[in-house]
Structure 1
């Protein structure tokens, strides 16, 4: 927003929470969310590819050591949670964890820095944290939901999947409609919980950063305190999203 205009705290917060978008209504596309998510995805790919190409069996460098720690951490998480056999799950979990972590980590950048830089080029709206946009978190959750349905049908068959939805938790045939309703609610709650949990926590954190920024010269100590607390929140949300994904896919692979 132009620095020459006097704005209220409400206008300041509203401005920072507005996406750079094109289109109207349902067809609105958030350019900043797509741009930053793709950019951070490419950062993840190029970084890990570079480390893999330069990896040595001797004493690893700091970057290689950090990447190996992340890979081992994700691998251990998959082994302890996923009880099926699928070579896709570990790479998927690694991608989700690192990508969501990088998107969340944009919250550590001062809230005015990136918008001010883009303002120099005539761009007046710029949200740099993709996971504060529900469209992004629901897109991630929808991708996981499609995998849940795919593996549920692949492992159990269409008949087995339908049987699972209709015969639990009550075994009597007269209660099959009740079972179906209960199981569908449980099934649909999985992507909703993934999307809303990540969005809610990151949006609330971003909003608090903006509220802190409105208090003027005294914001620095409060900002650093909240940023220090965010050192736990940002990786924790990425970890929870990854673990729930592994858990839901593990349930999809169980063939009763």
Structure 2
């Protein structure tokens, strides 16, 4: 939502383009989005700090406050893992919890008024600032490719290198259509990180764009409309974090099956 009390600018296109431009260094493939790295890293550090503080002061008899919240999230994620992932694995549970909390917090940056942090940054000489890491395609694809790397590792661990290669050669149509099998299985595997990355990016980018469009309206429309969209957007940011976590668990479960 906008923190202004009047339409944001007389040039809506310039306003939107400015807010959707990253603070970056480098050119081409080697461009680094400093704002994405900063806010993503800051939220990751916040998760580690809060977890460390709670871990030091755990009270099994009288849990309260943040410990109750963390235990609720932990039990929720643990329930999802047990219902989806076949067998036991020491990584999947912590991974699911990390993904859900981190993606949720990065998404939740969208609830900060769109002009607040960019205006503060501009006062300090920083002219571009995007505060929602998941509206950056680089973030969502980095997360998705990390999951994809784990999918390959779990496939090789459960099937062996030869078995993993056979999956491309003989799935889904058998030995008589090996060229077709290679193409179909490759598309099926590549579609996993692509769909993960694009789904999260598309939903969060659209949400951010709606906030920017609302910020262009007069203040007496901004506040009720922006407030309503923010309330609905809480559901969106939670759902997108849940879907990313859930699909990660599903893909790793599929990769862990020797006969898949």
Question: Under TM normalisation by the shorter chain, which class is it?
Answer: over 0.9
Distance across 2 between alignment mates of 1:156 and 1:37: 35
Cα deviation, residue 13, structure 1: 0.5
Look up the SS of the partner of 1:57 in the other structure.
coil
Q: What is the aligned partner in structure 2 of residue 179 from structure 1?
A: 181
Q: What is the aligned counterpart of 1:145 among 120, 143, 148? A: 148
Q: What is the aligned counterpart of 1:211 among 207, 210, 213? A: 213
Counterparts of 1:233-244 in structure 2, within 5 Å, are 233-244=236-247
Q: Specify every segment of 5 or more residues in structure 1 that has no aligned partner in the other structure, as ranges.
A: none
Distance across 2 between alignment mates of 1:187 and 1:6: 45
Cα deviation, residue 6, structure 1: 6.0
Counterparts of 1:68-107 in structure 2, within 5 Å, are 68-107=71-110
Q: What is the aligned partner in structure 2 of residue 223 from structure 1?
A: 226
| Counterpart contact for 1:84–1:254, Cα < 8 Å | no
Distance across 2 between alignment mates of 1:82 and 1:154: 15
| Counterpart contact for 2:9–2:216, Cα < 8 Å | no
1:190 aligns with 2:184: no
Distance across 2 between alignment mates of 1:57 and 1:144: 33
TM-score by length of 2: 0.94
Q: What is the aligned partner in structure 2 of residue 136 from structure 1?
A: 139
Q: What is the aligned partner in structure 1 of residue 116 from structure 2?
A: 113
Distance across 1 between alignment mates of 2:55 and 2:114: 34
| Counterpart contact for 2:36–2:130, Cα < 8 Å | yes
Structure with the greater relative contact order (CA < 8 A, sep ≥ 6): 1 or 2? Answer: 2
Distance across 2 between alignment mates of 1:159 and 1:212: 55
- How many aligned residue pairs are there? 252
Q: Where in structure 1 do 4 or more consecutive aligned residues deviate above 3 Å?
A: none
- RMSD of the TM alignment (CA)? 1.3
Kindly tell me: are residues 100 and 27 of structure 1, through their superposed partners in 2, closer, same or farther at Cα, counting changes over 3 Å?
same
1:176-215 CA-to-partner distances (Å, cap 9, x unmatched) read 1111111110000000000000000000000000000001
Cα deviation, residue 19, structure 1: 0.2
Cα deviation, residue 7, structure 1: 4.5
Of stretches 104-113 and 52-61 in structure 1, the one that deviates more from structure 2 is 52-61
| Counterpart contact for 2:9–2:15, Cα < 8 Å | no
| Counterpart contact for 1:198–1:237, Cα < 8 Å | yes
Distance across 2 between alignment mates of 1:13 and 1:84: 48
Look up the SS of the partner of 1:45 in the other structure.
helix
Q: Specify every segment of 5 or more residues in structure 2 that has no aligned partner in the other structure, as ranges.
A: none
TM-score by length of 1: 0.96
Distance across 2 between alignment mates of 1:207 and 1:187: 31
1:91-124 CA-to-partner distances (Å, cap 9, x unmatched) read 0111111000000000011000110111111001
Q: What is the aligned partner in structure 2 of residue 27 from structure 1?
A: 30
Cα deviation, residue 59, structure 1: 1.9
